[in-house]
């Protein structure tokens, strides 16, 4: 089975994010970048599927500046076979991303596309769904379990208040949720092997599609500063305040 996995370069969730004074974006100096954690789960799932089936190919795709090759290299070190980097310096919205991915899917013809349910930078949670619509493929989002049956794939989805089990025939799209798996660490031999694996670069212009964003970010505001906490003397006082001040009980 050929699996295409999307990989987005995002700020490390551990770093402190500051909004630029003019609200036009975030301050990017001195931030570390990582693979979007949900994409990392997608890579892990693809590798497990390949290992379980004893054959197949895991192809990574990222869209962005040349530096995104760092994250692709990490994915290759985890065990993916090769990677594609769509070079694009322009800001994209989810539809632009989905359009580019649709082109890549057309070229690569994978049996399955595994994506993170969202990227932790803008939290849009749209690209997977839009890609499914553009391709007219079935989709299962928020996957917490993936199993292959005779001629379909069964996915357990995490939905509000419970689990939903869906099935679809391949090809299709799965987006991953947090509990699907725990991604592996790249081993040193993995890192060494990754050095020799291919990262093919494609300029976005070559794809011949319109990626002008329909959506633009108008303004960013940092979250409101939390007020200082309060220390209480006793459980009684805590309960009292939760009732009278916080009004939660």
Partner 1 sequence: MDFQFTEEQEEIRRQVRALCARFPDEYWRERDETGEFPWDFYQAFADGGWLGITIPKEYGGSGLGITEAALVMQTVAESGGGTQACSSIHLGIFGLEPLIKYGTEEAKRKYLPKVLSGEIHVSFAVTEPDAGTNTTQIKTFATRKGDGYVINGRKVFITKARESKKMLILTRTTPYEQVQKKTMGMSLFFADIDPQAVEVRELRKCGRKAVDTNMLFIDNLYVPKEDLIGEEGKGFYYILDGINPERILVAAECVGMGKRAIEKAVQYAKERIVFDRPIGMNQGIQFPLAESYAKLETAELMVYKAAWLFDNGKPCGKEANIAKYMAAEAACEAADRAMQAHGGYGYIKDYDVERYWREARLFRIAPISQEMVLNYVGEHVLGLPKSY
Contacts with partner 1 by CB under 8 A lie at 69-70, 73-74, 77, 185-192, 194-195
State the nearest-atom distance from the C-beta of 74 to partner 1, in Å: 6
Smaller CB separation from partner 1, 1 or 191: 191
Q: Which of these, 120, 122, 136, lies nearest to 173 by C-alpha position? A: 136
Smaller CB separation from partner 1, 149 or 228: 228
State the nearest-atom distance from the C-beta of 192 to partner 1, in Å: 5
Contact 1, 49 (CB under 8 A): yes
State the nearest-atom distance from the C-beta of 13 to partner 1, in Å: 12
State the nearest-atom distance from the C-beta of 23 to partner 1, in Å: 26
**3-class DSSP assignment, residue 73:** helix
Smaller CB separation from partner 1, 190 or 213: 190
Smaller CB separation from partner 1, 53 or 187: 187
Backbone angles phi, psi at 172, to 5 degrees: -165, -175
Contact 137, 171 (CB under 8 A): yes
Smaller CB separation from partner 1, 16 or 151: 16
Q: What angle do helix axes 69-78 and 37-53 make, rounded to 10 degrees?
A: 30
Beta bridge mates, 143: 157, 176
- Separation of alpha carbons 17 and 8, rounded Å: 18
- Separation of alpha carbons 204 and 63, rounded Å: 9
Smaller CB separation from partner 1, 11 or 213: 11
* Burial group, residue 53, by CB count within 10 angstroms (0-12, 13-18, 19+): exposed
Smaller CB separation from partner 1, 60 or 100: 60
Question: Dihedral (C-alpha) 59, 65, 67, 69: value to the nearest 10 degrees?
Answer: 10
State the nearest-atom distance from the C-beta of 188 to partner 1, in Å: 4
State the nearest-atom distance from the C-beta of 163 to partner 1, in Å: 28
State the nearest-atom distance from the C-beta of 10 to partner 1, in Å: 14
Q: Is 247 left (phi over 0), alpha (psi -120 to 50) or beta?
A: left
């Amino acid at each position: 089975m050929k699996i295409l996995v999307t990989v987005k370069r995002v700020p490390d969730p551990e770093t402190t994010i500051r909004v630029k004074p003019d609200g036009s974006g975030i301050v990017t100096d001195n931030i570390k970048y990582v693979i979007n954690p949900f994409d990392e789960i997608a890579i892990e799932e693809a590798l497990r599927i390949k290992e379980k089936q004893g054959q197949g190919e895991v192809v990574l795709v990222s869209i962005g500046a040349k530096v995104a090759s760092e994250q692709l290299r990490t994915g290759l070190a985890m065990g993916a076979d090769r990677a594609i980097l769509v070079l694009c310096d322009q800001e994209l919205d989810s539809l632009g991303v989905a359009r580019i991915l649709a082109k890549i899917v057309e070229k690569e013809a994978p049996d399955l596309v595994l994506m993170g349910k969202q990227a932790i930078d803008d939290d849009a949670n749209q690209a997977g769904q839009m890609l499914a619509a553009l391709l007219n493929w079935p989709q299962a989002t928020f996957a917490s379990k993936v199993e292959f049956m005779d001629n379909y794939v069964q996915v357990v989805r995490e939905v509000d208040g419970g689990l939903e089990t869906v099935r679809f025939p391949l090809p299709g799209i799965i987006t991953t949720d947090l509990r699907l798996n725990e991604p592996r660490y790249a081993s040193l031999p993995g890192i060494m092997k990754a050095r020799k694996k291919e990262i093919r670069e494609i300029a976005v212009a070559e794809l011949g599609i319109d990626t002008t964003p329909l959506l633009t970010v108008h303004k960013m505001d940092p979250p409101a500063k939390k007020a200082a906490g309060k220390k209480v003397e006793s459980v009684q006082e805590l309960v009292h305040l939760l009732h009278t001040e916080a009004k939660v009980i």
